[in-house]
Structure 1
Amino acid sequence: MKHKKETEDFNTEEPQTPRHTEDFNTEEPQTPRHTGSDGVMIRRSRAAAVVFVLLCVLLLTARIILCATFTQERQQLKTKITNLTQERDQLLTDNMNLTEERQQLLTNNRNLKEERDQLKSERIDLQKKFADGLKCHQSTLYFFSSEKKNWTESRRYCRERGADLIIINNREEQDFVGNISVGSGHFWIGLTDVEEEDRWKWVDGSTLTSGFWKSGQPNNQGNEDCVNTHSSGWFDTECDSSLKWICEKSILK
């Protein structure tokens, strides 16, 4: 009986659904845990992309600015170089001009020294040639002859010695000649009207404008076409007359 009861009890027991099946059928679908992390990653990626684009824009802008600044500075540098080159060329030109001027001054100075030495030499020669008759007044040497010749020969004598018959330009020179010639007679001077009557000309070709004639001179008697000086003044005389003469030479020429 006891066995039978146990059989009944066994038969009356309700069949049970396996737990794992029930649990499987009743479980609700779940969203994967990593879905929130993906959203954050997407937002971060977008933000990074925006930052990257902004950085690219900034870099491009900076590059454009730097390029423009570099171009401007390069142009300014080229302008400065051009200006400096022009200034250098101008300085070189000025230096060259100054060098040429210096050389010209040196040449002029050398020429002046040579002329000075030449004048000294000529003065010495004149002193030797004219001996005791040589006189000096201001910047001119005068030779008062002691012998006599006609006007043409007297002039030839002077010219052969680098001088010429005297040209009296002013009262001071006339007084100088007159004081020396006192008591020495008459001396030929470089004045004549042999080319045209009454048109008195000096030996350098200039025309007489005013003179120091003796009262009553020139009297134009005969062929008195040449002039001599005396302490009392000038006289017109025949050119073939034999008189002393005065040679003149500037020491500045």
Structure 2
Amino acid sequence: MLGLTIALICGLLALGSCGALADTEPFCLLKDPPNQCGGFCLSVLTPVLNHLTISQDQRTPSDPKKANEVLLRQYTMEKQLTALQEKQTTFETSLENQQKSLDNSHVNLTERVDDLESQLSALQETLFRVETKIKYLGFEQVGSKYLYIERITEKNWASASKYCRNMGAHLADIKDQEELSAIQAGLKKDTHYWLGISDLGHKDEFLSMATGKPAPFLKWATVRPTRLDSSNCVFLYNGEMYDYPCKYSFHFICQKEEENE
């Protein structure tokens, strides 16, 4: 098809050239048109043919099989690239979801730890109260002291002191008027109660049995019953203190100080 087109163009050019020259000259430049036209036409058509060849080569590769392979590879690479992009997007989404899950887990874990700590604190407080109740079983709190008031049995001063020691306590002393008033409010009226105060070491030097130091507070009755040498132990009666022979049996008061945990 291309050869026929070239031949036709060559013929037209030859005739045109001779015709154009015929108007000005009596003879054609081509003395032998049939033989010379090929070379003439070739020299004229070479730029046109080159252009057509280049355009055709640009449109269609010289080897169709290789062209198909290139297109197939390009298509395959595009599909792989698209798949990789989709995988990247899926991976990023998965990472975001995992991060959110980790954040939620961290928040939940923190909340659970705080809740467990609160429960532990509550249990420790409950345990402390239970231990305190067991430790001071039978005692009642008055200020910073725990007191056991014996309201039924009467004992002499030494036996009462021993009874308190067996309970992990000692006969009570009193630190001030406020504490005396609080204790007296729980005592039976017109009843004697031994205290942990005596001058068994030196006459009229009344010491606290708990500390071995001078009694922190003394409130003697207006009229003390006796000042005999045998009146060495102190009892409480209707909010006032008396010294009396230790051999007599009275009710008594034991005390425990609250320990700082």
Q: What is the TM-score normalised by the length of structure 1? A: 0.48
Q: What is the TM-score normalised by the length of structure 2? A: 0.47
